[in-house]
Amino acid sequence: MDALFIMVLAFVGYLLAYRLYGRYLGSKIFQLAADAKVPAKELQDGVDFVPTKKEVIFGHHFTSIAGTGPIVGPAIAVIWGWVPALLWVFLGSIVMGAVHDFGALIISMRNQGKSVSEFTSKYINPRTRFIFFLIVFLELLIITAIFGLVIAVIFAMYPGSVLPVWLEIPIAMALGWAVYKRGASVLLWSIVAVGAMYLTVWWGAYAPIVMPEIAGMPATGTWTLILLAYAFFASVLPVTTLLQPRDFINSHQLMIAMGLLVLGVFVAAFTTDMAFVAPAVQASPEAAPSMWPFLFITIACGAISGFHSLVSSGTSAKQIANEKDSLFVGYGGMLTESSLSMLVIIATCAGIGLGYTTKAGASLAGVGAWSAHYSSWTAAAGLGSKISAFVVGAANMMESFGMPHAIAIVIMGVFVASFAGTTLDTATRVQRYVLSELFTSLGFESFRNKYVATFVAVAAAAMLAFATGASGKGALTLWPLFGAVNQVLAALVLTVITLYLLQRGSRGWILTAIPACFMVVMTFWALVINQGMYMKQGNVLLQIINGLVLVIAAWVVVEGVLRFVATLGGTPTPAADTAR
């Protein structure tokens, strides 16, 4: 019953936060105006800059920032206990993550939809532009290379998800054609499209597809190649052809999946007295790093994530038709993602206790089920382990109201894989924008061509993915860096938002300065610990890259502090005269 109480309390808290704090930020701090010029209309090109209804762009934005992040992070961080994980997800998203996403979106919209790397040079100084680009490029490179592998792993674990995930593409393109070419009702035809997708889920449950080894290349390598090729084509198509309609379908899929989970919590709470079987707090799990600072690095997307700023300033800022819509998309999108992470925590800390089968075939329940899965940091840390903890817990809750276990498993598998696919091609598209902005400013005019920039983005990801062999697992060599790099980016973006507000004369800068300082401390702390660990392991590659990130981040922070002091001292800044 405690799981039900926590869920209801959290949902009420999110609604209040949006209505009170979110609207205060929009009206008083960022001063949103319905008549403000937006890049979607000023630079409309039918490919990247497309004015879009807020409900549709919300679907794109949410599914792009989510991916597997709000699932895998909480699914491992609960090893420190469900209370610290839940507090960080709830409070972090309201006062940090949603403010970060919303602020990055607004600044980009007021700077012609340019990326975070571009407007960093404007609000700090031009010296930071290139070094900031290095962090952004590294983050997007790892995401693009790793998410092909992530989806490949999901396909291997849940072969029933393969057919629905791929069939969603023609369904989405048909929806885009009907809405944008034939003027069909978005609501009516999106319902039809979602219905068609769930028919494929039923089909996939009874027609699983297993990728065989081809010419010596394992299934993970083959899927990674196919998915990177897909990302190339998906990211150069007009957003109305595939990106928007597919993400709109995925947003409906999210609401349905979350609705099923909520229903599962309600029914299980009254039929089984479902309770948290994980410890409230477990400060020293076996072989785990310290909760401080690694809780704040492990849970990213559910609380705050630097990648979100790249989506906000990469694709979403180019599609919002009315500046006031940005509150719903930016702040509301982050709170919705946090709601998902909250349900993941319930699934992995309470739902898993309803029934769990070990690798040896033993059936467990209650505390024993949780303890078997989270026996140590190593046992809980693998990608498959993270995903399975959520999928099993979610399926258990859905079974409580009569959902067949096989169907429940496929629904959750498709849900996770679809979101990972959205992140993959959005990251590829954003990497194209970033490469184009940087290299054209350096005189490489060929990068204005979207095919050239996209090819470079995908080729770089492929080189990383296959650097260690045909399995496509090369990105795993850099994956240990991702959490800290991602959160460093969030800290730096919050620093830029603070400077933006300060240069506009807004007293609201304190609302982003405190979260920025917190994230700077946590991420630098984690980077230093990681550097010592990599030195002890003798991992020269990770030592070099982690050390470089540490230096770059310190440089940007120092430059930001100097600009902050100068602005407080009354030194005029170009940004103050050119942006709303």
Per-residue pLDDT of the chain (580 residues; tens, 9 = 90+): 588 999 999 999 999 999 999 999 999 999 999 999 999 999 999 889 999 989 889 988 998 898 778 888 898 899 999 999 999 999 999 999 999 999 999 999 999 999 888 888 889 988 888 888 889 999 999 999 888 888 888 898 889 899 999 999 999 999 999 988 888 888 788 889 999 998 998 898 889 999 999 988 999 999 999 999 999 999 999 989 988 898 888 888 888 888 999 999 999 888 877 789 999 999 888 888 999 999 999 999 899 999 999 999 989 999 999 999 999 999 999 999 999 999 999 999 999 888 887 777 778 888 988 888 888 777 666 666 777 888 888 888 998 888 888 888 888 888 888 888 888 988 999 999 989 988 998 889 999 999 999 999 999 999 999 999 999 989 888 888 888 899 999 999 999 999 999 999 998 999 999 999 999 999 999 999 999 999 999 999 999 999 999 999 999 999 999 999 999 887 655 544 345 5
Spacing of C-alpha 10 from chain mean position:
20
Q: Say if CB 506 and CB 527 are below 8 A apart.
A: no
Count of the separate structural domains present in the chain: 1
Count of other CB atoms within 10 angstroms of residue 90: 24
Angle at 97 between CA 259 and CA 420, to 5 degrees: 55
Q: Say if CB 327 and CB 102 are below 8 A apart.
A: yes
The CA distance from 189 to 191, in Å, is 5
Per-residue pLDDT at 131: 84
Q: What is the pLDDT of residues 471-500, one digit of tens each?
A: 998 988 888 888 889 999 999 999 999 999
E strand intervals along 447-494? none
Residue 525: what residue type? W
Per-residue pLDDT at 278: 93
CA distance to 41, 58, 64, 217, 219, per residue, from 49 (Å) = 7, 15, 17, 39, 37
User: Which of the 8 DSSP states describes residue 183?
Assistant: -
Q: Say if CB 104 and CB 307 are below 8 A apart.
A: no
Per-residue pLDDT at 113: 93
Q: 554 in a domain, yes or no?
A: yes
Q: 12 in a domain, yes or no?
A: yes
How many helices and strands, by DSSP H and E, does the chain display? 26, 2
Q: Say if CB 151 and CB 231 are below 8 A apart.
A: no
CATH number of residue 252's parent domain:
1.10.4160
Which value, in Å, is the radius of gyration of the alpha carbons in the chain? 22
Per-residue pLDDT at 270: 85
* Structure tokens that stand for 549 in this block: 């990130």
Q: Identify the three-state secondary structure at position 363.
A: strand
Question: In angstroms, how far is the first alpha carbon of the chain from the final one?
Answer: 49
Q: What is the dihedral of CA 452, 455, 457, 461, to 10 degrees?
A: -160
Q: 186 in a domain, yes or no?
A: yes
Per-residue pLDDT at 130: 85
**433: Cβ–Cβ under 8 A, 6 or more apart, which residues?**
48, 115, 314, 453
* Structure tokens that stand for 172 in this block: 């989405």
Q: What is the dihedral of CA 129, 119, 328, 341, to 10 degrees?
A: 10
Locus of tokens 């957003």? 239
Per-residue pLDDT at 183: 87
Q: 510 in a domain, yes or no?
A: yes
* Structure tokens that stand for 89 in this block: 């997800």
Helix axes 219-236, 405-441, angle to 10 degrees: 60
3-state secondary structure 495-515: HHHHHHHHHCCCHHHHHHHHH
User: Which of the 8 DSSP states describes residue 364?
Assistant: E
* Structure tokens that stand for 404 in this block: 């067949």
The CA distance from 192 to 115, in Å, is 35
Q: Identify the three-state secondary structure at position 104.
A: helix
* Structure tokens that stand for 575 in this block: 């940004």
Nearest to 342 by CA among 97, 91, 86: 86
Spacing of C-alpha 222 from chain mean position:
25
Per-residue pLDDT at 571: 67
Q: What is the pLDDT of residues 235-294, one digit of tens each?
A: 999 989 988 898 888 888 888 888 999 999 999 888 877 789 999 999 888 888 999 999
Q: 325 in a domain, yes or no?
A: yes
What is the domain extent for residue 319? 2-208+221-578
Residue 131: what residue type? I
Per-residue pLDDT at 578: 43
Count of other CB atoms within 10 angstroms of residue 533: 15
Q: 122 in a domain, yes or no?
A: yes
The CA distance from 556 to 535, in Å, is 25
Per-residue pLDDT at 169: 94
H-helix or E-strand spanning residue 357? strand 356-357
Locus of tokens 């730096």? 492
Q: Say if CB 47 and CB 239 are below 8 A apart.
A: yes
* Structure tokens that stand for 512 in this block: 């982003």
Phi, psi torsion values for 212, nearest 5 degrees: -80, 170
E strand intervals along 177-262? none
CA-CA-CA-CA torsion sign (511, 517, 519, 520): positive
Write the burial class of residue 519 (CB in 10 Å: 0-12 exposed, 13-18 middle, 19+ buried): buried
Q: 415 in a domain, yes or no?
A: yes
* Structure tokens that stand for 96 in this block: 């940090």
Phi, psi torsion values for 52, nearest 5 degrees: -140, 145
Count of other CB atoms within 10 angstroms of residue 210: 9
Write the burial class of residue 277 (CB in 10 Å: 0-12 exposed, 13-18 middle, 19+ buried): buried
Per-residue pLDDT at 324: 97
**109: Cβ–Cβ under 8 A, 6 or more apart, which residues?**
38, 39, 317, 320, 323, 326
Phi, psi torsion values for 269, nearest 5 degrees: -65, -35
The CA distance from 395 to 354, in Å, is 10
E strand intervals along 171-249? none
Spacing of C-alpha 68 from chain mean position:
7
Q: Say if CB 192 and CB 171 are below 8 A apart.
A: no
Q: 216 in a domain, yes or no?
A: no
